[in-house]
Chains A and B, each alone.
Chain A
Amino acid sequence: MQLLTSALLVAALTLATAELPVAQATSTRALGPVTAAVRIDIFSDYECPACKALHEQTLKRVKEEYASKGKLRLVHHDFPLQQHKHARRAAALAAAADRLGKFEAVSDVLFREQEKWSKAGNVDEVVDSVLTPEERKRIDTLANDPAIAANIERDIQLGQRMQVSSTPTMIVTHNGTPSPVVGVISYPVFSRYLESLVGVSK
């Protein structure tokens, strides 16, 4: 039964990213080879302080040390929580920035300036600070594209199917077995865990 559930969850994750629209084919929301034996699906909310901590303390280094070197695949999923008023707009702007090739820069600034925009609500202004004038003109139209809202909704539904109840939650899949990792994990502990998986990958 547990095996069947695991298989279904892995299939859901694989399908979820395989169905990405053509416009997102060059997306940096997913980093690392599709064929990697280790895959991390991160469900995150730009307005959640724990997500900021995980992004800045751990995930940036995981990207550099593992995903960029092809050792694993890291996939970002939006999971804006209802209690966070501006999280959905932030997710839409980040997804729009992805279409401009600026996902990384916008994600970084959203987390870095989280305290500021989550109180003031000026999320658009914060995002604009890392864009060129030309990109600023386009991002609003892109962020209001219904396809982006639909993608965020799909990410939320995927998270719910994966029993994600809080953010940040990482689903680490290795050899077809998904393991949920919830909360802020420090880089030294997480990298030791990843080394144990990467080292024994079939």
Chain B
Amino acid sequence: MVRRVTLALRLLLGAVFVYAAYTKLRQSWLLFALSIDSYQLLPAWAVFALARTLPWLELALGISLIAGVWLRYLSIAAAGILAMFFTVMVVSYFRGAGIDCGCFGVGEPLSVKTLVRDGALLAAAIALVAYTHRRPNPQSLVPNP
């Protein structure tokens, strides 16, 4: 059961990260820079640096999650990135910023729908962290006589 849930969670999160990377990499990185800048949280140099690197980071993370490598560490990285996205989105939404989410390319407004979706993905990532850091049941370690 645990293995199946872990597999489902990492495939789901991996696919989402790969798709998010694809939607950003297929267009000019400057369009993604505009989306990041509209959050009004970073100076221009940091906006450019993030716009250039984040899609590749998402791609690498997505592929690694699908492949199931370094799962104990990458599940934490995925949860950390999603927690960061979610925090920034919630703050911006309640600040009343009518901006694009920037999650999957351009043209998707930041809304309750995008917050619910990101919140659900964050919950999935936290569950994956919990499953991958779960201590094995001591009973299962006792060899059968």
Contact with B along A175-187 (1 / 0, CB 8 A): 0000111111110
Interface window among B1-9, B34-42, B54-62 = B34-42
Taking a contact as CB atoms under 8 Å apart, the answer to whether B98 and A167 are in contact is yes
- Asked if B106 is an interface residue, CB under 8 A from chain A, the answer is yes
How far is A180 from B47 in the complex, measured between Cα atoms in Å? 18
Contact with A along B93-121 (1 / 0, CB 8 A): 00001111000001101000000000000
Interface window among B25-33, B64-72, B74-82, B83-91 = B25-33
Taking a contact as CB atoms under 8 Å apart, the answer to whether A193 and B30 are in contact is yes
- Asked if B48 is an interface residue, CB under 8 A from chain A, the answer is yes
In-complex Cβ contact of B38 among A163, A167, A185, A196 (8 A): A185
How far is A186 from B47 in the complex, measured between Cα atoms in Å? 10
- Asked if A202 is an interface residue, CB under 8 A from chain B, the answer is no
Taking a contact as CB atoms under 8 Å apart, the answer to whether B28 and A196 are in contact is yes
- Asked if B123 is an interface residue, CB under 8 A from chain A, the answer is no
Taking a contact as CB atoms under 8 Å apart, the answer to whether B97 and A50 are in contact is yes
Query: Do most interface residues of chain A lie in helix, strand or loop, or is the interface mixed?
Result: mixed
We find that the number of chain B residues with CB closer than 8 angstroms to chain A is 18
Residues of B within 8 A of A167 (CB): 98
A176 CB, min distance to chain B CBs, angstroms? 15
- Asked if A188 is an interface residue, CB under 8 A from chain B, the answer is yes
Residues of B within 8 A of A190 (CB): 34, 37
Taking a contact as CB atoms under 8 Å apart, the answer to whether A189 and B97 are in contact is no
Taking a contact as CB atoms under 8 Å apart, the answer to whether B30 and A196 are in contact is yes
B36 CB, min distance to chain A CBs, angstroms? 8
The 9 closest A-B pairs by CB, nearest first: A166-B98, A183-B38, A183-B99, A188-B44, A189-B37, A193-B30, A182-B100, A182-B99, A185-B37
In the complex, the chain A residue whose C-beta lies closest to that of B38 is A183
Residue among B33, B37, B40, B109 with max Cβ neighbours from chain A (10 Å): B37
Residues of B within 8 A of A166 (CB): 98-99, 109
Taking a contact as CB atoms under 8 Å apart, the answer to whether A181 and B34 are in contact is yes
A-B contact pairs, 10 of them (CB 8 A): A166-B99, A182-B99, A183-B38, A183-B97, A184-B38, A189-B37, A189-B47, A189-B48, A193-B28, A193-B34
15 A-B pairs besides A179-B106, A184-B40 with CB distance below 8 A are: A163-B107, A166-B98, A166-B99, A181-B106, A183-B38, A183-B40, A183-B97, A185-B34, A185-B38, A186-B37, A189-B44, A189-B48, A193-B30, A196-B28, A196-B30
